[in-house]
Amino acid sequence: MTSRIRGLFSGGTSPALLSLAALPMAVILVLVIAMFWVSVQKGALGTPSAVYTLTNYSAVFGDPFVVSVVVNTLIFTISATLVALAIGLPIAWLVERTTLPGKTFLYAIMTLGLLIPGIYTAMGWTLIAHPRIGLLNRWLVDLFGLDDGPINIATPIGMGFVQGLSLAALAFILTSQMFRAMNPSLEEAARVHGMGYGKIIRRVTLPLARPGILAAVIYIFTIGIATFDIPAILGLGNRVYLLSTFIYLKVHPQGAGLPEYGITGVVGAFMIVVAGMLTLWYGQVLRQGHRFEVVTGKGYKPALIPLGRWSIFAWALILGYALISKLIPLLLIAYAALMPYFVPPSLEAMQQFSMTHFYGMDWELVSRGLKNTVVLVAVVPLAVLLLAFTISWLIVRSRSRVRYLLEFGAFLPQALPEVILAIGALLLALFVIGKNVPLYGSVWIIAIVYIVARLAFATRALNGSLLQIHRELEEAAFVSGLSTARTAWRVLFPLIRPTLFSVWIWTALLVYRELTAAVFLAVHDNITLPAVIWSYWFSGSINKASAVTLLMTLVLAPLIFIAWWFGRRSQVSLN
């Protein structure tokens, strides 16, 4: 018994646990290698006509069109990051550092805002700010007698704005904890010396928050650079291409020619390198964060800034954000779902409201999509929990050097765009293991990509929880004769139950709304509900896409309520 404990905690690591933890790492590695392998091939993959060459690299980096795609991606990602922070950061500050009333409700709005699929927001904003059909543009045209709508959402900046609205909730979550942990003694000292609130924010609060904000910027930037849904819905039809949509078109060419996997591989490899660099920077920023810590500890209680009547103004801004980012898009989607064919909203048009798209809905398709989505929601979070718990336990408890490798490997999926993971899986399933392992076209290929993609978030949350539990408890269990599995079940799981449940529900919800990987991997039998919506939208059936979206929202609503209720009770946040 003693040797087992010694073996586990003093360098030796259980081979069974290590194998389990290594499994997702191996999958990630294989997917990354697949991308580089494809990038040096030309011709029909998996056939003798495929040859190894570096011409894909010269074709990509010598093509001015690709340069414009990279520039668009940068503009889009910077805009998205700025908008997300411009909204999320002040709200986080209001919640954590002021006397703003109704904070629980505000938490609900912001955290649950993250769960509303970007595809909804994008569809809604097409109907709001499209230059010709956007409601806002039409009003402006009528009001000022203009020839054309002055706002164009189908530009890199416009799309970045919509993406920023979608990511503002994430910016809030990432920065609110930073404000919460920040000791206010320096601010109080500044106030004692006669500084006004504005000056304190500028000279004290923001410099103190700099590492936290920078970490949030990098995190959001990494997500933005590979986002697919919003650029696809707003950009593809308007000839505004980003890296993710460029890859999509190379894998699913519209017109003459075969899929250009080699080109995709090069762009993917480029994205991996960029994302890897951002991850390294992110890690560095997090490590430097401690230099800005101002001792926190027992008796810590931040002094809150009294808002007074400014609360009304603050709440107006917050509700304005909720209105434009979620509510209005959702209302417009409901409008589109009820129209027999789409025309811009007006009272006259509303007289044509009908349930045609609901009566004529292809229920077989919707139920197939729902069934696959339910399978993913049931399986992925459990698998993520099992793997993430194993990895986290090894990272936190093991003294073996392997734990550093596991830590790096577990965070790697955060940096890897899901598009890359999906294409890697697609190519492997088609051309490498296809004849022996029937993964292509099955829901399991999507499940594998989702599990890998969600691992970083889960291990991050579980690492934090496990660190808070002293190992003496486990040692006592071992001494009492419990096996490793029973120790985990009887001792650790009850103690970290809130985190486990939080990870489970968040993973389930994120899996439910996920589109990117599904679009690349769904074929027929394995189509998911978001992929059904995308297929309808992409083939111009705006009304049908909206009708399915409404149904999906109805299914999502109870899940969101459970998440909110549980989050409120356990005070568990994403961080």
Partner 1 sequence: MKVVRVLAGALSLLTLASYARAATLAELIEGAKKEGVLRGQWGQASFGGSEGFKEIVSAMNKKYKTDIKGQYTPGPDMQALMLRVIQENAAGQPASTDVYLGNAQAMLDGLNAKVMRPTTYNQFIQDKPATEGKFNPIAADGTHVAFATAVVGVQYNTNFVKGNDIPKKIEDVLNPKWKGKIASTPYAAGIREFATPDFLGREKVVDFTRKLSKQIAGLMRCGEVERITSGEFIMLAFTCGGNDVNVARRTGAPVGHAVMEEGTVLHMRYAAIPKNSRSPNAAGLFIHFLMSAEGQELLWRMDGLDLHLFPGSQTKRELDRVRAAKGKVIINSPEWLASFKDYTAIQKELENILRQK
Q: From the list 143, 481, 524, 558, which residue makes contact with partner 1 (rule: CB under 8 A)? A: 524
Give the up-direction half-sphere exposure of residue 271: CA atoms within 13 A in the CB hemisphere: 36
Q: From the list 172, 389, 440, 564, which residue makes contact with partner 1 (rule: CB under 8 A)? A: 440
Alpha helices in 238-362 (DSSP H): 243-251, 261-288, 310-322, 328-338, 347-350, 356-359
CB-neighbour burial class of residue 479 (10 A; exposed 0-12, middle 13-18, buried 19+): exposed
Q: In terms of CB distance, is 205 or 245 closer to partner 1?
A: 245
Q: From the list 1, 3, 15, 47, which residue makes contact with partner 1 (rule: CB under 8 A)? A: 47
Say which residues have a Cβ less than 8 Å from residue 37's Cβ, sequence separation at least 6: 265
Say which residues have a Cβ less than 8 Å from residue 454's Cβ, sequence separation at least 6: 380, 381, 384, 413, 507, 510, 511
DSSP 8-state assignment for residue 52: E
The SS3 call for residue 240 is: coil
Kindly report the backbone phi and psi dihedral angles of residue 265, in degrees, each rounded to the nearest multiple of 5, phi listed first: -60, -40
The pattern of x and - marking residues 258 through 277 that bind partner 1 according to CB under 8 A reads xx------------------
Q: In terms of CB distance, is 79 or 546 closer to partner 1?
A: 546
342 binds partner 1, rule: CB under 8 A: yes
Distance CA 91, CA 403 (A): 37
Residue 287 C-beta: closest distance to partner 1, Å: 44
Alpha helices in 40-63 (DSSP H): 55-61
Residue 181 C-beta: closest distance to partner 1, Å: 47
- Interface residues for partner 1 in 281-320 (CB under 8 A)? none
Nearest to 338 by CA among 325, 323, 354: 354
Give the up-direction half-sphere exposure of residue 362: CA atoms within 13 A in the CB hemisphere: 11
130 binds partner 1, rule: CB under 8 A: yes
Q: In terms of CB distance, is 196 or 253 closer to partner 1?
A: 253
The pattern of x and - marking residues 388 through 427 that bind partner 1 according to CB under 8 A reads ----------------------------------------
Q: In terms of CB distance, is 155 or 499 closer to partner 1?
A: 155
Q: From the list 360, 386, 399, 489, which residue makes contact with partner 1 (rule: CB under 8 A)? A: 360
Residue 440 C-beta: closest distance to partner 1, Å: 5
Say which residues have a Cβ less than 8 Å from residue 138's Cβ, sequence separation at least 6: 149, 344
341 binds partner 1, rule: CB under 8 A: yes
| Residue span binding partner 1 (CB under 8 A) among the ranges 75-83, 92-100, 112-120, 519-527 | 519-527
362 binds partner 1, rule: CB under 8 A: yes
252 binds partner 1, rule: CB under 8 A: yes
Torsion of Cα atoms, 392 then 398 then 403 then 409, to 10°: -20
196 binds partner 1, rule: CB under 8 A: no
Partner residues linked to 98 by β-bridges:
305
| Residue span binding partner 1 (CB under 8 A) among the ranges 338-346, 383-391, 416-424, 471-479 | 338-346
Nearest to 286 by CA among 178, 170, 136: 178
536 binds partner 1, rule: CB under 8 A: yes
- Interface residues for partner 1 in 540-569 (CB under 8 A)? 540-544
Nearest to 459 by CA among 387, 402, 400: 387
Distance CA 120, CA 128 (A): 12
Q: From the list 11, 101, 306, 340, which residue makes contact with partner 1 (rule: CB under 8 A)? A: 340
Binding site for partner 1 (CB under 8 A): 44, 46-47, 65, 130-133, 148, 154, 236-239, 252-259, 340-344, 360, 362, 364-365, 368, 430-431, 434-435, 440-441, 523-524, 527, 532, 535-536, 538-544
